[in-house]
Amino acid sequence: MLDFKTVISVGAASLVSIQAAPHKSGKTAQITPNIILIYMDDMGYGDIGRTGAADYLTPNLDLLAEEGMQFTWFYCPQAVSSASRAGLLTGCYPNRIGISGALFPWSTTGINSEETTIAELLKTKGYRTGITGKWHLGHQEKFLPLRHGFDEYYGLPYSNDMWPINFDGTPFTEVDMSIFRSRCPVLPLLEGNEKIAEIRTLADQDKLTTDYTQKALNFIETSKDQPFFLYMAHSMPHVPLGVSDKFRGKSGQGLYGDVIMEIDWSVGEIMKSLEKNGLTENTLIIFTSDNGPWLNYGNNAGSAGGLREGKSTSWEGGQRVPCIMRWPGVIPKGSVCNKLASSIDILPTLAAITGADLPAHKIDGVNILPLLQGNKDIVPRHEFYYYYQENDLEAVQQDHWKLVFPHSSQSYENQLPGNDGWPGPLGRKTVENPELYDLRRDPGERYNVIKLYPDKVKELGIVAEKARKDLGDNLTNNPGSNRRKPGSVK
Ligand code: MG
């Protein structure tokens, strides 16, 4: 077995050598770095300093990138909360495991106990596992983190706007069960499986980022003597925005900028804690977001950095998210990865690093460890499927080409301030005919080049047929043959 210290002591030449010891599963690595996965809620591609954030600074995220790798072409599995988290934690397209959109406080489904989460996978290698923040894979006990591989849990069971409070902080009193907020109970804060407090006011929301950070720091302190996996799933910058007094009014971009500054501070506190405990070298930090900005909320939403549209769409602004990884001695310092990757690739990558067995059932992620190691020749992922709604295949990608199929899409015009987000009236802009985009030249998806490249359309059509056969596609009435069911309660 190769220990981590050996890897880092021989420097850059050894970057591929963590694959030295063969494993009976065919995977090869045998080390157990600590893993910290920081997952933002609705942070857009353009919301960090490295990708053009304006009127506020993100010095700690900048430092993380300077000491690690920035991914420029990294996709969330689907541009909405529960689906994205399901994909992240299981390494599957969320529609494969029966999770779509956002679960509600009255939902009767959640993650199936037959699925393997990253936490469960790492438990087989002796990891201590903890989650701080938003779960959103089912709020009934059988779906909560402690039943899916986590030793500890502190946070909200679903989104922070699923509460009976208006955006000005006043109680929502209208009794109309067709209105989203009428149906939401008081927002519970959970520790383990128990409700320990209620989030009832905007002032309560203001405390979340600092509270989560403190819990995360405690987890690091108490886990430092064994390998640990910390999943830090911030509730911010999802509306309603909340920020502590130490950052209120500090950015030049209103409350949204203040919130991102506090997130950046939180990342810095975690980096400091690792340094203090001598864990910096042996810890892989992954920072990314569940989906792009929720543009409905105008100045309370983030920026997709010039990409098209945002959350709740399969356009690049919804699916392409910021991503930074740092692992000193393995990830080359200050590097940039322009290759295609997705958060569904994290699970198989962690399996490759630790030597853990992959789940027995089919997953969709691929091992991107060679990308982390700075290998420029290997291309682990050539294709990506853009599913939305329950099971609509809205687009497919092969390398830098993206073929968009006719579908009803939430349009930017209907996401402007004044609309109260879902489940209010979302405008749907229809894509009438297939469109083709060359994302290498046109990441903003402004120029439909379908007439210029008929051969590409054919090639991408084959990719789409493969997806439909396997995962199905409601837009073409194809059930698919390899979908699994979510968990459910009566
Ligand atoms: Mg989100």
Q: What is the mean pLDDT of residues 425-444?
A: 83
Please tell me the distance between residue 125's alpha carbon and the centre of ligand 1 in angstroms.
30
Q: Is the pLDDT of residue 420 over 60?
A: no
What's the chain's average pLDDT? 90
Those residues whose C-beta lies under 8 Å from the C-beta of residue 283, and which sit 6 or more positions away, are: 33, 34, 35, 36, 274, 327
Give the C-alpha separation, 126 to 123, whole Å: 5
CA-closest candidate to residue 135, choices 92, 95, 174, 188: 188
Specify the 3-state DSSP secondary structure of 197: strand
- 160: which 2 tokens? 């922070």
What is the band of 23 on the pLDDT scale with cuts at 50, 70, 90? very low
- 238: which 2 tokens? 């999802």
Please tell me the distance between residue 119's alpha carbon and the centre of ligand 1 in angstroms.
21
Please tell me the distance between residue 128's alpha carbon and the centre of ligand 1 in angstroms.
26
Neighbours of 469 (CB within 10 A): 13
User: What pLDDT is attached to residue 30?
Assistant: 61
Please tell me the distance between residue 188's alpha carbon and the centre of ligand 1 in angstroms.
18
Give the C-alpha separation, 6 to 329, whole Å: 10
Cα-based torsion angle of the residue sequence 251, 257, 263, 267 in order, rounded to the nearest 10 degrees: -60
Q: Is the pLDDT of residue 427 over 70?
A: no
User: What pLDDT is attached to residue 196?
Assistant: 98
User: What pLDDT is attached to residue 409?
Assistant: 67
Please tell me the distance between residue 312's alpha carbon and the centre of ligand 1 in angstroms.
9
- 310: which 2 tokens? 């945002």
Please tell me the distance between residue 346's alpha carbon and the centre of ligand 1 in angstroms.
18
User: What pLDDT is attached to residue 410?
Assistant: 59
What is the band of 314 on the pLDDT scale with cuts at 50, 70, 90? very high
User: What pLDDT is attached to residue 479?
Assistant: 95
User: What pLDDT is attached to residue 2?
Assistant: 37
Give the C-alpha separation, 398 to 404, whole Å: 12
What is the band of 181 on the pLDDT scale with cuts at 50, 70, 90? confident
User: What pLDDT is attached to residue 237?
Assistant: 98
What is the band of 425 on the pLDDT scale with cuts at 50, 70, 90? very low
Please tell me the distance between residue 103's alpha carbon and the centre of ligand 1 in angstroms.
12
Q: What is the mean pLDDT of residues 465-476?
A: 97
Please tell me the distance between residue 159's alpha carbon and the centre of ligand 1 in angstroms.
8
Q: Is the pLDDT of residue 27 over 70?
A: no
- 264: which 2 tokens? 């950046």
Give the C-alpha separation, 188 to 158, whole Å: 9
Q: What is the mean pLDDT of residues 170-196?
A: 88
Pairing of strands 34-40, 228-233: parallel
Q: List residues bridging with 408 in a β-sheet.
A: 430
User: What pLDDT is attached to residue 423?
Assistant: 34
Please tell me the distance between residue 39's alpha carbon and the centre of ligand 1 in angstroms.
9
Neighbours of 296 (CB within 10 A): 24
Please tell me the distance between residue 26's alpha carbon and the centre of ligand 1 in angstroms.
36
Among left, alpha and beta (phi > 0; psi -120 to 50; other), residue 454 is alpha
Specify the 3-state DSSP secondary structure of 423: coil
Cis peptide before 240 (omega within 30 of 0): yes
Residue pair 343/324 in contact (Cβ under 8 Å)? The answer is no
Name residue, tokens 């064994």.
226
Please tell me the distance between residue 365's alpha carbon and the centre of ligand 1 in angstroms.
20
**Phi, psi of 467, deg, nearest 5:** -65, -45
Specify the 3-state DSSP secondary structure of 1: coil
In percent, the amount of the chain with pLDDT more than 90 equals: 83
What is the band of 18 on the pLDDT scale with cuts at 50, 70, 90? low
Q: What is the mean pLDDT of residues 244-267?
A: 97
In three-state form (DSSP H/G/I as H, E/B as E, the rest C), the secondary structure along 108-174 is CEECCCCCCCHHHHHHCCCCEEEEEECCCCCCCHHHCHHHCCCCEEEECCCCCCCCCECCCCCECCC
Q: Which of 335-339, 346-350, 389-393 has the lowest mean pLDDT?
A: 389-393
In percent, the amount of the chain with pLDDT more than 70 equals: 89
Higher local confidence (pLDDT), 173 or 146:
146
Please tell me the distance between residue 78's alpha carbon and the centre of ligand 1 in angstroms.
10
Q: What is the pTM of this model?
A: 0.93
User: What pLDDT is attached to residue 176?
Assistant: 72
Please tell me the distance between residue 89's alpha carbon and the centre of ligand 1 in angstroms.
15
Residue pair 292/327 in contact (Cβ under 8 Å)? The answer is no
What is the band of 465 on the pLDDT scale with cuts at 50, 70, 90? very high
User: What pLDDT is attached to residue 10?
Assistant: 31
Please tell me the distance between residue 42's alpha carbon and the centre of ligand 1 in angstroms.
4
CA-closest candidate to residue 43, choices 209, 177, 216: 209
| H helices, E strands: number in the chain | 11, 20
Rg (CA), the chain: 21
Alpha carbon 285 to its chain centroid, in Å, reads 14
User: What pLDDT is attached to residue 22?
Assistant: 37
Residue pair 31/7 in contact (Cβ under 8 Å)? The answer is yes
Give the C-alpha separation, 326 to 286, whole Å: 7
Pairing of strands 392-398, 283-289: unpaired
Q: What is the pLDDT of residues 79-133, one digit of tens each?
A: 999 999 999 999 999 999 999 999 999 999 999 999 999 999 999 999 999 999 9
